[in-house]
Amino acid sequence: MRDSSSASQKSARSGRLRLLLIALVIALPVASGGLFAWLQQRSAGDRHLVERNALGLDLARPDVLIESQSLSRLPRDLLAVPLLRDTLTEDFVFYYEQNADRLGLAGSLRRIVYEHDLEWRDTLLDELLDQPAQVALWRDAGGRLRHFLVAIERGGLARLLEPVAKLALNDSQLSVAGELNVDGIAVPLYRLRYQNQRSVLFASHGDRLIVASSADMLFAEMPAKASSSGDDSAPLAQVSAETAESLLSGGQPFDARFGLAPREGLAHRIALGSEYLALGYQRFIPSFAGLRFEMGEGGWRSFLALHEVDGQPAFDFAPVWRAMPMGASACVALPAAPAMAERLLDRVGAGAEVATRLSARLSGTAGLCWYAESRLHSPLLVGQLTAAPDEQTDADIGALFGSVIGAWETFAENGSFPVQEEQQGDLHTWRREVSSNFGQYPADQAEHADAMAARGFFRISLARRGQTLLFSLDDQLVDKALATLDKRFPPLAEVLPGDALVPAFLAPEALAALLERETLDSLPKDMEPVFRNAAETHLLPKLRALAGHKRYALAVPQTEHADGRWQWLPLEWRAL
């Protein structure tokens, strides 16, 4: 009986043990799944964020934004513009299709597909680029658009990328770099390495995918262990993370940056900020906000954006064009910042009182033109005074010219050659010879040839005729502008439209001649034979194709000043 009772007790304990094991088998995955989800939510909510990313970029303010129904079609669609078709040709499309980074990424993806036996097609990268997408670009320290963040929309993308989480655990090129918080869900950030030390960062949520050109765009730093082991301890930058999370959740974080409305019915839209276009001089022209190009059913259209600025005088470029001589290669007219002139003059040594007096006299409108008979580094600058000058104004202008223009001349008696000043009626001129190997005159033609320390020199000139100011490193351009004001040479205003505001002028034939001369002068055959041959083979034919186009005036509707931020005005290319 005892044996029977003992056997039954053992059987009962064994049954209870089996039930307990079954319960554990069922409960542990559920509990671990719940714990994992809790940890994900906790880590996403309590993560450590820092202010700036490792590159110091503001991901909320890209320099350029490209929006497209198909990125792969964008290069070819750009060639629909006649001016670009003749100068870029099919090489432009070939370059982006055969770009080294693109080929490197494609090679890495092919290896992953092969080693892990995935069902991804070799055309995956091409398929992704053929979807609606946004590309935001930022400048690097050298001013190149090197950093990018791409947001792609694609149906079925979540299913396509399901294997990535498993691959990241044991792949040599793919790892987990961190995580984002999208709609309360922790979304992993993956790092894909290619071409040795290069890498991209990507994440997907639903049917949206973002790709960053480097981990430094989102992280404050990227420790070595994070890049190799998948450690996600590197701190994210707050603005960078918020921008990426907004894109993954379907937001449009860049529209406000460029003052854009929703893109409807457009194949492509490209917006460029003034910080990038102004080449570092945007502080001097704060009214200029940017340019936009968009392609719809009727083809490409252009727009100019303006900002409202306190104290900005009315836009009036007519006096500038009346002083500019005919025959320019390219011109631009600018509304200069009202307060910037005073600060700039003070910084270059004019003194606070002189800076205040002169800045009060400047109209805030200036123009710049390049001429084929001169050099790329010696354009003609035209400015305007608000009223007829007095003796004090001329004295201030002369003192400023003497203190700012010049160089230390080793053999000059007083360190610099003297300023030659002349006055006849309402004409006042100031000139100074400055030695330079880049000067347009040989040293033996200088008034002080024996004291020249370089093989050439500039005869830098400043002239005031009435209320018009003229300045150039090339004194011949100033003389030609004076002849224009005296009606002895035709002004550029004669060929420009009078019913619109003209901020820019382009003469392809003269511009091509100027660029060809600069190219050949900078690549002497005896010193740069390889680059010279490359320029003659590839660049010069494009410049000669450019020369075959008509002259253009860029015109916008007449407006006295901007009313608000990002005021977009249609920009018309008028053939002359």
Last residue of a domain, one of 249, 280, 299: 249
Q: What pLDDT does residue 409 have?
A: 85
Same domain for 330 and 208: no
Contacts of 251 (CB under 8 A, 6+ apart): none
**Residue 465: strand pairing partners:** 427, 468
Instruction: Name the 3-class secondary structure at 567.
Output: strand
Q: What is the mean pLDDT of residues 66-94?
A: 74
Same domain for 331 and 235: no
Same domain for 427 and 526: no
Same domain for 570 and 449: yes
Residues of the chain with pLDDT > 70, as a percent, come to: 78
Last residue of a domain, one of 198, 226, 249: 249
Position 469 in a domain? yes
Position 187 in a domain? yes
Position 299 in a domain? no
Residues of the chain with pLDDT > 90, as a percent, come to: 42
Check whether 475 has a pLDDT greater than 60: yes
Check whether 327 has a pLDDT greater than 50: yes
Last residue of a domain, one of 222, 249, 276: 249
Q: Count of domains in the chain? A: 3
User: 208, 213, 189: which is closest to 137 by C-alpha?
Assistant: 213
Check whether 516 has a pLDDT greater than 70: yes
pLDDT tens-place string over residues 304-314: 999 988 877 78
Residue type, 436: S
Q: What is the DSSP string of 45-98?
A: HS--EESS-TT---TTS-SEEEEES-GGGHHHHHTTSHHHHHHHHHHHHHHHHS
Q: Are 379 and 368 in contact (CB under 8 A)?
A: yes
Q: What pLDDT does residue 344 have?
A: 82
Check whether 42 has a pLDDT greater than 90: no
Same domain for 478 and 531: no
Q: What pLDDT does residue 473 have?
A: 96
Enter the DSSP assignment of 451.
Answer: G
Q: Rounded distance, CA 407 to CA 405, Å?
A: 7
**CB-based burial of residue 438 (10 Å sphere; 0-12 exposed, 13-18 middle, 19+ buried)?**
middle
Instruction: Name the 3-class secondary structure at 353.
Output: helix
The CA–CA distances, whole Å, from 380 to 278, 329, 333, 359, 462 equal 18, 11, 12, 20, 10
Q: What pLDDT does residue 88 have?
A: 65
Least confident of 155-169, 427-441, 518-532: 155-169
Position 369 in a domain? yes
Look at 170 and 121; give whichever has higher pLDDT.
170
Mapping DSSP onto H, E and C, the string for 469-485 reads EEEECCHHHHHHHHHHH
The CA–CA distances, whole Å, from 134 to 5, 98, 137, 256 equal 76, 21, 10, 14
Same domain for 346 and 232: no
Q: Are 212 and 200 in contact (CB under 8 A)?
A: yes
Position 260 in a domain? no
Containing structural domain, residue 499:
318-507+550-575
Q: What is the mean pLDDT of residues 482-505?
A: 95
Q: What pLDDT does residue 233 have?
A: 56
**Residue 299: strand pairing partners:** 296
Position 116 in a domain? no
Q: Are 199 and 10 in contact (CB under 8 A)?
A: no
Same domain for 541 and 481: no
Q: Rounded distance, CA 130 to CA 494, Å?
A: 47
Tokens coding 135: 């590309």
User: 483, 448, 457, 446: which is closest to 468 by C-alpha?
Assistant: 483
Q: Are 147 and 140 in contact (CB under 8 A)?
A: yes
Same domain for 483 and 372: yes
Q: Rounded distance, CA 131 to CA 155, Å?
A: 9
Q: What are phi and psi of 504, to 5 degrees?
A: -155, 155
Same domain for 565 and 530: no
User: 180, 186, 189: which is closest to 246 by C-alpha?
Assistant: 180
Q: Band of the pLDDT at 167, cuts 50, 70, 90?
A: low
Same domain for 235 and 360: no
Q: What pLDDT does residue 228 have?
A: 39
**What average pLDDT does the chain have?**
80
Tokens coding 551: 């002259």
Q: What is the mean pLDDT of residues 447-466?
A: 92
Same domain for 557 and 463: yes
Position 291 in a domain? no
Position 101 in a domain? no
CA atoms within a 13 Å half-sphere pointing along the CA-CB vector of 411? 8
pLDDT tens-place string over residues 267-316: 999 999 999 998 888 888 888 999 999 999 889 999 999 998 887 778 88
Check whether 13 has a pLDDT greater than 90: no
Instruction: Name the 3-class secondary structure at 151.
Output: strand
Q: What is the DSSP string of 519-532?
A: HHHHS-TTT-HHHH
Same domain for 491 and 410: yes
